[in-house]
């Protein structure tokens, strides 16, 4: 079991590094052409960050558990418990969805801690949009 968790953590970390740097370059090009983060809806920006810079989709799918819980499950639990997803993504709150997977998720805090409050709120908005 420990080997499986360790392997999952290594794979998640490796995939974040590769995808994150590629997508970051693309995002910078987009903004350098005059498009600002505020020109997008928060949900669209959140989707872009979730699938690009944050590479969150590598572990979280909309309707099914892969490595981490599904987006719907995360959003439902945070809504039901009236918890603050942004605080968790900053690394300042305890995990409430699947604490057993926290060690795997912890490697991604370097990415989310570098994001602005606006970007983290956009990710939160995108995730809550899956409850509709």
pLDDT in tens, 77-97: 999 999 999 999 999 999 999
State residue 11's pLDDT score: 52
Q: Which residue has the higher pLDDT, 27 or 101?
A: 101
Q: How confident is the model at residue 9 (pLDDT cuts 50, 70, 90)?
A: low
Task: Name the DSSP class of 68.
Answer: S
Whole-number Å distance between alpha carbons of 41 and 63: 23
Nearest Cα to 116, choosing from 58, 59, 37, 23?
Answer: 37
pTM: 0.69
Residues 6+ apart with CB under 8 A from 11: none
The CATH number of the domain where 81 resides is what? 1.10.760.10
State residue 4's pLDDT score: 56
pLDDT in tens, 24-44: 444 443 343 334 444 589 999
pLDDT above 90 as % of the chain: 55
How many domains does the structure of the chain reveal?
1
Structure tokens at 126: 């995108």
> What range does the domain containing 39 cover?
2-131
């Amino acid at each position: 079991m420990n080997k499986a968790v360790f392997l999952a953590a290594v794979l998640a970390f490796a995939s974040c590094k590769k995808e994150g740097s590629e997508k970051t370059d693309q995002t910078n090009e987009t903004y350098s052409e005059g498009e600002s983060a505020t020109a997008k809806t928060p949900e669209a920006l959140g989707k872009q960050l979730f699938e690009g810079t944050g590479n969150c989709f590598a572990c979280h799918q909309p309707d099914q558990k892969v490595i981490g819980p599904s987006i719907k499950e995360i959003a439902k639990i945070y809504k039901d418990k009236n918890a603050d997803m942004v605080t968790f993504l900053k690394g300042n709150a305890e995990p409430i969805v699947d604490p057993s997977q926290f060690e795997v998720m912890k490697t991604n805090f370097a990415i989310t801690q570098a994001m602005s409050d606006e970007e983290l709120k956009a990710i939160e908005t995108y995730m809550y949009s899956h409850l509709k």
